[in-house]
Structure 1
Amino acid sequence: MENARNKLEELNSGLIAAGNCDSHENSVFSDLIPAIVLSVNDCYDLARRCVKLSYSGKLLMQSDLDVVSAKIELHIKNLAGIYTAGILTQGYAIVVSKPGIGACRDDMKFYVRDLLTRLKIGDMGMKSQALVALNEIVEEEKYVKIVVETGEIIKVLMNFLELAEMKIQEESAKVISVIAGFDSYKSVIVAAGIIAPLIQVLEKGSGLVKERAAGALHKLTENSDNAWSVSAQGGVTALLKICTYSDGGGGKSITSVCGVLRNLAGVEEIKRFMVEEGAVSVFIKLMRSKDEASLISAIEFLQILASGDDSIRQMVLREGGIHSLVRALDPKSPFSTKARETILRAIESLCFFSTSSLNILMGYGFLDVLLFFLRKGEVSLQELALKVAYRLCGTSEETKKAMGDAGFMPEFVRLLDSKSFGIQEMAAEALSNLVLIPRNRRRFVQEDYGVGRILQLLNPEEGKSGNKKFLLSTLISLTSCNSGRRKIANSGYKKNLETLAEAEVMDAKRIVKKLSTNRFRNILNVIWNP
């Protein structure tokens, strides 16, 4: 009974659509309308007998229902044939009004079936307007449920993805992408076979259609089972091909494609296949793009691909990935702060895994670029630059020497005055690491910027005290050379250190003891060598 009712609603929608069109040959309906009327009367009689329970058995009733359903189906096909032949042309009121707020489910179902009819039997203009109307309603889950339950709509949309008409393709892909965003219906549209047509669009489509198809696949592949389905149907190859032949201006399309690939890379076997297919080379090339969205997408994907895998990181090195990153970070490049932050994070995750990779990074002038953003970057970028510099201070002795030569120590001292305690602490610890190197200690003592400020920050009454543990650690390192001890002893803020020593702060006591011992030796030297 439900099947017959649905077909009657579809036929009714088709007749309404025909009534809203102009026909130069009204005679085409001369045979169709009487036949439809006859079938409708049969439906009425059948319904009346069902209500009065006058049937001798369910089998006979089902047989009569099947017969009348077949007749209605034939009328729908005949009406569709009239549209296909081009006898009807678009007139007015092509799409009926959407039911208002609070409309009952039956009204919403009728509206959806009306749209289905227009999608099936309308000309291109009618199909296009029906798709626009469909896109307006699928933002609401109550309508999505009806659309998905009306399974024919998904099949129609899949067929539309293969049409040459660009507007029809775009609107169809948009509807599918929206539906794919509802977790409850992902499995339904995947079971209907939506993945293969979407991949075909990636292979043969262009522009907005491709972007929307990739957007739909991005949402669907959040489920790893669907990721396998995409890979099995050639999706990985199609996606990599788009990135391979991008002219650097892919923008949103590349972003959507990378979103799918990120999901697929969550499956280890698929990630390995990507690497074998040359994904590393493809995305390093894409990192040279002048389009910021493509650059960011490529960098983020490479990070995911190389995460926890030193062999892939080595591939990034061999393919010139570090050079591409440092070049993109150049202050003269046109990229935004957001892009530069992405690049810095990528350098940290891709280049800090071995001494050789760090040496290559230094060889490309990374320290000068990092120091520039530490000095002049926007606040968020400056903080990230400090975090990277902080990590570098904990690496090799050669790196620490290079950082001292480049001028990082004055910047660390400046950041001891930051409003953020976290930044104070990182700057203090980074500084204490750098002065472990004798050459850096000598440089630090020779300058006027450091020793006095550190001692000043040890004042317990001053609001900003940096981080005493690391500040004292820096001073301990400085006391290992005569010039450092003299600088501390002659400072006007030495009293702060003595106050801490009197308060039984062990590192402060050690420093004061070293200063006292050195003063006693000096006195003895004067006595012994008059």
Structure 2
Amino acid sequence: MGEEVKGPKETEQSPDSPESSAGASSLRRAVESISSLISLSFSIKIFAAKWNTIRTKLEDLNSGLAAVQNCETDENPVLLGLVSNISGTVNECHGLARRCVDLSYSGKLLMQSDLDMLSAKLDLHARNLTEIYNAGVLTHRFAIVVSRPGNGACRDDMRFYVRDLMTRMKIGGAEMKRQALLNLYEAVVEDDRYVKVVVEQSDIVNVLISLLDSQEAEIQEWSAKVVSVISGFGSYKVVLIGAGIIAPLIRVLECGSEVGKEGAAKSLQRLTENSDNGWSISAHGGVTALLKLCSGCEGGDVRAELVGPACGALKNLVGVEEIKRFMVEEGVISTFIGLTRSKDEVLQINSIEFLQNIASGDEAVRSMVVKEGGIRALVRVLEYRSACSCKVREIALRAVENLCFGSTSCVSVLIRYGFVEQLMSFLRNGEASIQELALKVAIRMCAKSEEAKKALGGANL
């Protein structure tokens, strides 16, 4: 909680003054009354859909008021007036709730109409509270920060904490939004139960999506980070897709900061694990944006944390034939051949697997990979003096097996580049896993080409 910021001396007022106490008291009573009403609403068995909606709005309003309980309300007459109006609506709502619990209402249509009007009033109160925040009357310096419940906290406590953060994200200033997003990110990273709490409340997901378009870089970045965590849970991806996450993520990819782009790329990589989402990404220009991130990143100075997930997303989309054709036309093969020279292992693996996948079952594309230097790039990865890991070499060997044994001419190119000597080195000095794979590759080479059989025989296989 920040320090209180006082006005000029002549307008200063003791926090213990009767006026200040009265303002704080009315706010506290409103919060307590809403909390009581929320509890009562769970006892209502009729008009369930309407009461669920009303309860959600009451929870949002309660979080908004709870967040400013430490504000000097006497200095904010607009807030005092709003609290008074809210209290009147809450009293009205208590009456309706009690009649629904007791089944003492006079008619269903009349009660439904009363509930609709009540819901509209709560919307109005929420908008008015938002306007007060946006006007700067209340700032994060006055706000009570709700502590995150400890390990083993009950679901209701976790839900209250998340809704409090959501309220800050909706109506707070830039710093309050940033802090709320940071707290939410820490919660979902450290305890995945919070991910479920977030996803089960669509309004929170909608707030996160809206903040992806924030003009404040840090707000956009933390939103992208939270979404990237949620997108890692398979059962929740459909919620993000249904809420319209694709277009905002692609806008971040196109115009966001480096950190924001990294979060967006990670989310898109995870969302494209289901290739059915490929069309939506393509329709919003996502394939072009991903290709742009990967192009021009050959070897050396590559931000692997950003380019790696972008490569992964494109690799996931190769299975969609029309998208594959578009990528080929855009020059993706030369781009990914260049990325095989990256010093980052994940990026190397993604690029090699991409080339293998895009050429699989497509002779024309396989020929393009060979023509544009794909064989030379794979052989370079396999060189013993290279710094590549054993895992990368194994993947490169599999790629050679899948890409280069379709014709004797490709085998001849492999031999010219010294591939036989590399195979023999793996067979003599490699780890068990790569020895086994190298032997399999050697046998296939001999079966494919007389030239290969002679070369391997000459090397004392």
Global fold match (TM > 0.5): yes
Quote the residue 1:161 is aligned against. Answer: 212
For 1:218 and 1:272, the matched residues in 2 are separated by 19
| 1:331–1:35 distance in 2 versus 1, CA, 3 Å | same
Q: Which runs of 5+ in 2 are unaligned?
A: 1-50
Give the CA deviation at 1:244: 0.8
Asked if 1:268 is matched to 2:321, the reply is yes
For 1:322 and 1:22, the matched residues in 2 are separated by 72
Quote the residue 2:400 is aligned against. Answer: 347
For 2:283 and 2:342, the matched residues in 1 are separated by 30
Quote the residue 2:228 is aligned against. Answer: 177
Conserved in 1, the CA contact under 8 Å of 2:105 and 2:111? Answer: yes
Q: Which runs of 5+ in 1 are unaligned?
A: 413-530
Within the candidate set 273, 290, 295, 2:348 is matched to 295
For 2:430 and 2:152, the matched residues in 1 are separated by 54
Quote the residue 1:3 is aligned against. Answer: 53
Asked if 1:314 is matched to 2:364, the reply is no
CA deviations on 1:225-275 (whole Å, 9 max, x unpaired) are 222222222222221111113354132322212222222112233223322
Asked if 1:39 is matched to 2:92, the reply is no
CA deviations on 1:425-455 (whole Å, 9 max, x unpaired) are xxxxxxxxxxxxxxxxxxxxxxxxxxxxxxx
Conserved in 2, the CA contact under 8 Å of 1:373 and 1:382? Answer: yes
Q: Give the alignment of 1:121-200 within 5 angstroms.
A: 121-138=171-188, 143-200=194-251
Give the CA deviation at 1:193: 0.9
TM-score by length of 1: 0.70
| 1:222–1:32 distance in 2 versus 1, CA, 3 Å | same
| 1:208–1:94 distance in 2 versus 1, CA, 3 Å | farther
For 1:306 and 1:21, the matched residues in 2 are separated by 64
Give the CA deviation at 1:138: 4.0
Give the CA deviation at 1:281: 1.9
State percent identity of aligned pairs.
Answer: 60
Which amino acid in structure 1 is aligned with residue 211 of structure 2?
Answer: F
For 2:173 and 2:118, the matched residues in 1 are separated by 28
Q: Secondary structure at the match of 1:301?
A: helix
For 2:344 and 2:186, the matched residues in 1 are separated by 32
For 1:93 and 1:59, the matched residues in 2 are separated by 41
TM-score by length of 2: 0.80
For 2:252 and 2:406, the matched residues in 1 are separated by 40
Q: Secondary structure at the match of 1:19?
A: coil
Give the CA deviation at 1:142: 5.3
Structure with bigger RCO (C-alpha 8 Å, 6+ apart): 2
Conserved in 2, the CA contact under 8 Å of 1:348 and 1:388? Answer: yes
Q: Which piece of structure 1 moves more, 258-267 or 132-141? A: 132-141
Which amino acid in structure 2 is aligned with residue 363 of structure 1?
Answer: R
Conserved in 2, the CA contact under 8 Å of 1:392 and 1:400? Answer: yes
Q: Give the alignment of 1:431-442 within 5 angstroms.
A: none
Give the CA deviation at 1:106: 4.2
Asked if 1:219 is matched to 2:238, the reply is no
Within the candidate set 367, 378, 382, 2:420 is matched to 367
Q: Which piece of structure 1 moves more, 134-143 or 53-62? A: 134-143
For 2:303 and 2:406, the matched residues in 1 are separated by 31
Give the CA deviation at 1:20: 4.2
Q: Secondary structure at the match of 1:55?
A: coil
Asked if 1:229 is matched to 2:284, the reply is no
Coordinate RMSD, CA, aligned: 2.6
Conserved in 1, the CA contact under 8 Å of 2:252 and 2:264? Answer: yes
Within the candidate set 308, 331, 340, 1:278 is matched to 331
Max Rg structure: 1
Q: Secondary structure at the match of 2:139?
A: strand
For 1:229 and 1:189, the matched residues in 2 are separated by 13
Q: Secondary structure at the match of 2:447?
A: coil
Conserved in 2, the CA contact under 8 Å of 1:24 and 1:88? Answer: no
CA deviations on 1:306-347 (whole Å, 9 max, x unpaired) are 112222111011111111222232222222222222222222
Give the CA deviation at 1:41: 2.2
Give the CA deviation at 1:100: 5.2
